[in-house]
Structure 1
Amino acid sequence: MTFNPLRERGIPLDRQLRNWRELNVTPIDPDHADPYTRCRIIAMNGIEVEAILFSHQFARHCPDPLVKQQLARVRYIEAQQQKVVNWLLPGLASVLETTIAYEQVAVDLTAWVARMEPDPYLKQAYQFGVLEDFDHLYRYANLYEMIEHRKAEKIVDNLTEVTPGRPTYLHHRNPIDNLREPYDKTAAAPISKLHALTIMAAEQQTMNFYMNVGPTYMEPIARRLYQEIGLIEEEHVTHYESLVDPGETWWEMLLNHEYNECYMYHSFMETESDPKVKAIWELHLNMELEHLRIAAELFERHDGRDPQEVVAPQLPAPVTFEPNKAYLRELLATQIDFTTIGTGYVQDMHERFEQRQEAIHGGDASQAPSEQVIVDNRDKSGREYRHETDGPHPVESLRADR
């Protein structure tokens, strides 16, 4: 059945405010919940955080006091939604457990988007990024085994393999080589705009999370690993945000943000296995339908266009968390040695890339925290940690002395 969020009626804004009792949701059980329920929670938190930050940025550039008031009213409800979503995560989980879940989100959400993206250039951007998130999962899994003496396979529940991707030490590029060509807002498929917003939001929350939790560890290798991967997440945000057409007006961006929230809540409502969490997705969708209606009115008034010129007339197929093992193995076998130059991709380590590697690693890539964590875990556990469910790894990590 088709679902056009522009034609659906949601909960009126003045009825969306919740009290403390309503905001005090019961978290999921970390030992029994579907890992993809946790992934949906983390992904949706990233979407809500992006909505809030975007609204703040819009307000800082908006001279119209009536529009600022409208943004503030909606933004407060978005903030309540974000608290409910993020507070579904259990307090029992350690920071490292949550980190591994964040990387599972990055791997399986980005891989799904890459599979579904119709534009070849945008598809390549997601394929490139996912092989790096795949390796981050492997590095953190080794840290988790070494510090907490537990296996990441318990967290990802065999849905996502934990094995090397493009080696993390090779992710450090010249900043200008992290910029991509943006889609053309007049020609891009509506789903492409939603994909770009979704992955940008997911990577942004990961960047923010690592920036804040990294120094809370006492173990030097943990502090160093969060520092290194946190810097790479900044590169990823640059990579994905540059895909968005900078020619979009504020009103157009607001419309796309609200439409994407409707899309994501509807997707998760359709695919959620936990009845209590599903009810939250449904409630928030009905709130977002009103937020979208408000954004559409502002768009019509200030941009003078019909919203249906910008967004899809019906929601695309639901965003789905599912295993992507075969797809990722294919990418590992064909794209593991890719890097970037300018807005393109190459398989040769060009001069600018090599200069960056020399500068960031001080001439010795084996000293990178992402390499050292593997060495340290081998020394402590007798081997590095991997969890492969579909046979031997298709390719080994590139050697540091390549």
Structure 2
Amino acid sequence: MNPFEQKAGRPGSAFMSWKALYPKAYQKDETDAYTKVRIILMTGTEYEAVWFSHQFHRHCDNNDLRRELAVCRRVEQQQQKQLACLKPTDETQLETTITYEQLAVDLTAILAQRDPDPYVVQALNFALLEDFDHLYRYADLLEMEQGVRAERLVGSYTEIMPGRPTIAHHRHPMDSVRRPCDFKTAHPLTKLDTSIITAAEQQTMNYYMNLGAFYPNDLGRKLYQEIGMVEEQHVTQYGSLLDPTCTWLENLLMHEYNECYLYYSCYEDETDPYVKGVWEQNFEAEVSHLHKAAELLKKYERKDWQQVIPEGAFPELLKFSPQKEYVRKVLKKTVELTADCEQYTPVYEMPQSALFFKYQKTVNKGGAQNTPSHRVIADYQAKNGQDYRFEEKPNPVPALRDRKTDNTTLGRECSPEQ
């Protein structure tokens, strides 16, 4: 599939009526977990497209170009609103959060296994273990407060157990910045993967940033606050992998190509007939946006789209499937890593003068008992005798197998514990 070869309409032809804009919501207890995952992925992709377009608009002094951006952006806004309303009204904030974290885990694992750039793979694997632990923390809160077992929500596709403990995720901001990729020489998958994961993690960051304070009790509000700060680190990490030398119009073309790729992937992967139709409709709209972006690139920068995307045909499509064994492998091998400027280093090899330890002392002042991610598990264990998990076999890290005690030192203190 080459979207540059598809017939394209005018971007404004995709405007929707209010009736079309409000879709039929999925059934939360019947819909496949990966359908819900794809919906969140594409909601975040549309948000990224809208936000990028606004930033382009604010840094552009040509009103003819700004008007073209405004037309496409209005369609993107409608798409984002439509996708967000596929979520049913009876799905709670915490239930939706479980799907956010399942997306983070399985998407990251899929991209890490296919990306040809070893440095990008390192970044993906590093954050993977943190999102995996977040899923566990939220799942325990959900079962404790609502009696809902998250294994049902994830369709048993994704295990739920401790990863790198969330208390160990808190690092100095300087340690979140990575080396950027060079999109002129990068593999097509690397250009797509870095764009996809940045948008997906940004959506999670925004969700926690905007809705965390609406949780109905202090324990949940504090957990969203803590994990929301980790998501800021993840978005900084992934955003720093993007090529900062691309022009605004080159970036616009890449955004539209990425959306075409993802909608087509979702269409090919989807099992729900109604949602599959939404993917097809939005793919057609994005093809028109892509052709408009190519036209604007040619008009204002005298560049052909092939100079930005040499191979217009899509590489292998994104397909969701369980990633249990890969997550276990990464957990076993890298649970003790922490970020060390632009690299990753076992925490027990870091000097005590490292920014990591200084930042840890500040944010975790008062000890683990004052850290929300630990408090949730401690409260659950006190109430039920042991934590809630969904694991098909024991955790691959021996230090994380005790279900009656929450480990708060792994990946955080200087002596190896595996």
Common fold: TM-score over 0.5: yes
Cα distance in 2 between the residues matched to 1:251 and 1:190 = 18
- Per-residue deviation, 1:16: 1.1
Paired residue for 2:35? 37
Q: What is the aligned partner in structure 1 of residue 408 from structure 2?
A: 400
State the secondary structure of the residue aligned to 1:345: strand
Residue in structure 2 matched with residue 245 of structure 1 by the alignment: 243
Match of 2:373 among 370, 373, 380: 370
Match of 1:262 in 2: 260
Decide whether the 8 Å contact of 2:262 with 2:318 is kept in 1: yes
Q: Secondary structure at the match of 1:340?
A: strand
Secondary structure of 1:380's aligned partner: helix
Q: Residue by residue, what CA displacement relative to the aligned partner does 1:42-89 show, whole Å, maximum 9, x if unpaired?
A: 000000000000000000000000000000001001111111111111
The aligned counterpart of 2:24 is 26
1:268-324 deviation line (CA, Å, top 9, x unaligned)? 000000011001101110110010000011112222222112223201111111100
- Partner of residue 123, structure 1: 121
Match of 1:163 in 2: 161
Aligned residues: 399
Give 1:309's aligned residue.
307
Q: Report 1:45-64 matches (<5 A).
A: 45-64=43-62
2:163 match: secondary structure: coil
State how far apart, in whole Å, the 2-side matches of 1:14 and 1:360 are: 49
Conservation of the 8 A alpha-carbon contact between 1:190 and 1:310:
no
Q: How does 1:276-295 map to 2 (within 5 A)?
A: 276-295=274-293
Percent of residue pairs identical? 45
Q: Report the Cα distance in structure 2 between the residues aligned to 1:387 and 1:123, rounded to whole angstroms.
A: 26
TM-score, length-scaled by structure 2? 0.93
Query: For 2:339, what is the secondary structure of its paired residue?
Result: strand
Secondary structure at 1:6's aligned position in 2? helix
One-letter amino acid matched to 1:326: E
Contact 1:366 1:400 in 2 (8 A): no
Deviation at 1:237, TM superposition (A): 0.6
**2:408 aligned partner, one-letter code:** A
Corresponding residue to 2:141 among 134, 143, 157: 143
Equivalent in the alignment of 1:323: 322
Give the 3-state SS of the residue equivalent to 1:242 in structure 2.
helix
How far apart are the structure 2 equivalents of 1:84 and 1:221?
Answer: 32
Determine the C-alpha separation between the residues in 2 that align with 1:51 and 1:293: 15
CA–CA separation in structure 1 for the residues paired with 2:211 and 2:382: 26
Task: Assess if the C-alpha contact under 8 Å between 2:106 and 2:158 holds in 1.
Answer: yes
Alignment RMSD: 1.2
Question: Which amino acid letter does the alignment assign opposite residue 379 of structure 2?
Answer: D
Q: What TM-score do the two structures reach when normalised by structure 1?
A: 0.97
2:363 is aligned, of 336, 360, 367, to: 360
CA distance in 2, matches of 1:140, 1:63: 45
**Runs of 5+ consecutive residues of structure 1 not aligned to the other structure:** none
Equivalent position of 1:100 in the other structure: 98
1:87-133 per-position Cα deviation (integer Å, ceiling 9, x unaligned): 11111100000001100000011110111111000111101111100
Counterpart in the other structure of 1:184: 182
Mapped to 1, the partners of 2:336 and 2:162 lie a distance apart of: 13
SS of residue paired to 1:339: strand
Say if 1:48 and 1:82, in contact at 8 Å, map to a contact too. Answer: yes
Q: Which amino acid aligns with 1:331?
A: V
Contact kept in structure 2, 1:357 and 1:363, CA below 8 Å? no
Aligned partner of residue 344 in structure 2, secondary structure: strand
Aligned equivalents of 1:214, 1:196: Cα separation in 2: 26
Aligned to 1:383: 386
After TM superposition, give the deviation of residue 363 of structure 1 in Å: 4.9
Mark the runs of 5 or more structure 2 residues left unpaired by the alignment.
401-405, 414-418
